[in-house]
Amino acid sequence: MGLVQLHLPAFQVIVPMLAAPLVMLMARSPRAAWATATLTSWLTLAIALLLLIRVRAEGVVAYHMGGWLPPVGIEYRVDSVNILVLLVICFISAVVMPFARLSVASEVREDKHGYFYAAFLLANCGLLGIAITGDAFNIFVFFEIAALASYSLIATGRERQAVMASYQYLMMGTIGTTFLLIGIGFLYIMTGTLNLLDLAERLPAVNDTRTVRAALAFIVVGISLKLALFPLHLWLPNAYAYAPSMVTVFLSATATKVAIYVLMRFIFGVFGHELSFNVLGMNLLLMPLAMLGILIPSIVAIFHTNIKRMLAYSSVAQVGYIILGISFASTLGLMASLLHLFNHAITKAALFMALGCIAYRLGGVSLIHMTGAGQRMPWTMTAFVIAGLSLIGVPLTAGFVTKWHLILAALDGGLWPIAVFVLGTSVLALLYVWRVVEVAFFRAPLRRMKVREAPLSLLLPTWFLTLSCLYFGIETSLPVGLAERAAEVLMGGYR
């Protein structure tokens, strides 16, 4: 095995980390900064694909940082679960970077581009680190790296509310990660280890103690803040609505998804579903919250006229579907959640990219701006509609695949009211997507606006993701196979 092959897990995190200061040095030449960041994001995607090949061949790729063996040293551990998350992050960042050149140029001051792309790479590095590491404290550190970079990215938004949104995110995000740190401390007291694999082995002996249960409580609440589980989602709508388009695309597709992965890893992998669900009855907490989290933000979304904010509320609702799948505590439910993690990342990224095109040409993303946009920007709006159909869960789109599996999982668990609920709430998604379609396609443009179709470098990435929504709705074997394998691994604890 070549040297590169051997150190792939380390490269996955180190490449964007080292590229970030390099990009920052190019602050004077926005073009060079963008080109370097783009190449880096493609390189990380290539590394993730190579890792996928190794995971398929070997099952688990374990890497010992600096050659220190696990309980003492930090271990990077790639298995069927986190390779899925790594692929999502790398795929989205590789697609969003070509989109970024024009979009960022129109939304962020030029002298800040170098810093902007550096922060983007650091956020990328942090998210990849959270997903890849097998060490509990390392997860906390990478959470903060990703978060700090995201705060500065959000604060570059054009409107002044962006800075305030970033501040609020900082407050809630820090409380979330500090809760996680307290939980990790409790686990360390009881087991004397921080390695996730080691924790999973040693916890069953001390499961009955109040300390371990408090640890679970702190960790679940802390991560729920990060993944925007209703009612802890208050930071999300403003952060997504005021961030530059490219940041919204990237964060909506990756940041909450990685937090969801960590939640799955802790409650299934480390604590085990036996303790989390059968003994402590976490499904009784997660299921109602997930359902409220689907229902209320979906209804709120219907009444928002800022479409970016509307989609942000829709993101909270979609997180609800993923948590709903987790709360079934079954292999099928987990599989549906993992599938939705993948499919929703693509769908929401495509939607926010289409909005980015609209913002680029029309200068705003309110419903009024989009009057008659279907005639002026047919390609952009068609992409929006197709991705919107995927959001609703119409057959032949990626969104349908996950809704289908979620309903199957609900029926399998004997929870037919929930299956009905999932179908019923899809109508709410139809309502808020329809408002845009109606305004954009069935109304004539108000003024004689001389608006042309968005430029090709914005349209191509948007359509690439839109076609992915269709592709993964028809040819489902890749994500379904990955998710099935991952769900089996998670249900079996940590191996």
Partner 1 sequence: MEWFGLYNYWIVVVLMMVGFYIVIAQGNLIKKIVGLNIFQTSVFIFFISLAKLEGGTAPIHVAGVSDYSNPLPHVLILTAIVVGVALTAVGLALVVRIHELYGTIEEDEIHAQDEA
The contact set with partner 1 (CB under 8 A) reads: 137, 140-141, 144, 148, 151-152, 155, 160-161, 163-164, 166-167, 170-171, 174-175, 178, 181-182, 185, 188-189
Closest to partner 1 by CB, 187 vs 429, is: 187
Provide, rounded to whole angstroms, the least separation between the CB of residue 263 and partner 1: 20
Cα–Cα separations (whole angstroms), residue 18 to 13, 124, 125, 197, 417: 9, 12, 9, 28, 50
DSSP 266: I
Closest to partner 1 by CB, 76 vs 99, is: 76
Closest to partner 1 by CB, 32 vs 141, is: 141
Provide, rounded to whole angstroms, the least separation between the CB of residue 270 and partner 1: 18
Cα–Cα distance for residue pair 187/210, rounded to 1 Å: 11
Phi, psi of 133 (to 5 degrees): -80, 150
Write the single-letter amino acid at 5: Q
Cα–Cα distance for residue pair 45/95, rounded to 1 Å: 10
Closest to partner 1 by CB, 37 vs 181, is: 181
Closest to partner 1 by CB, 178 vs 375, is: 178
Closest to partner 1 by CB, 122 vs 429, is: 122
Provide, rounded to whole angstroms, the least separation between the CB of residue 150 and partner 1: 10
CB 62 within 8 A of CB 77: yes
Provide, rounded to whole angstroms, the least separation between the CB of residue 246 and partner 1: 20
Cα–Cα distance for residue pair 10/168, rounded to 1 Å: 33
Provide, rounded to whole angstroms, the least separation between the CB of residue 303 and partner 1: 17
Write the single-letter amino acid at 45: L
Three-state SS at 26 = coil
Buried b (16+ CB within 10 A) or exposed e, 300-320: bbbebebbbbbbbbbbbbbbb
Provide, rounded to whole angstroms, the least separation between the CB of residue 70 and partner 1: 14
Look at residues 227, 121, 140 and name the one whose alpha carbon lies nearest to residue 182.
Answer: 140
Provide, rounded to whole angstroms, the least separation between the CB of residue 478 and partner 1: 37
Residue with tokens 């003024």: 447
Provide, rounded to whole angstroms, the least separation between the CB of residue 148 and partner 1: 6
Provide, rounded to whole angstroms, the least separation between the CB of residue 241 and partner 1: 12
Point out which residues pair with 261 in neighbouring strands. Answer: none
Closest to partner 1 by CB, 180 vs 353, is: 180
The residues, ordered by sequence, that sit 6+ positions from 449 with a Cβ below 8 Å of its Cβ are 362, 376
Cα–Cα distance for residue pair 487/492, rounded to 1 Å: 9
CB 459 within 8 A of CB 357: yes
Closest to partner 1 by CB, 25 vs 189, is: 189
Closest to partner 1 by CB, 160 vs 447, is: 160
> Residue 293 corresponds to which tokens in the numbers above?
């989290």
Look at residues 153, 152, 151 and name the one whose alpha carbon lies nearest to residue 169.
Answer: 151
Please provide the DSSP assignment of 111-137 as one string: GGHHHHHHHHHHHHHHHHHHHHB-BHH
Closest to partner 1 by CB, 136 vs 407, is: 136
Provide, rounded to whole angstroms, the least separation between the CB of residue 90 and partner 1: 25
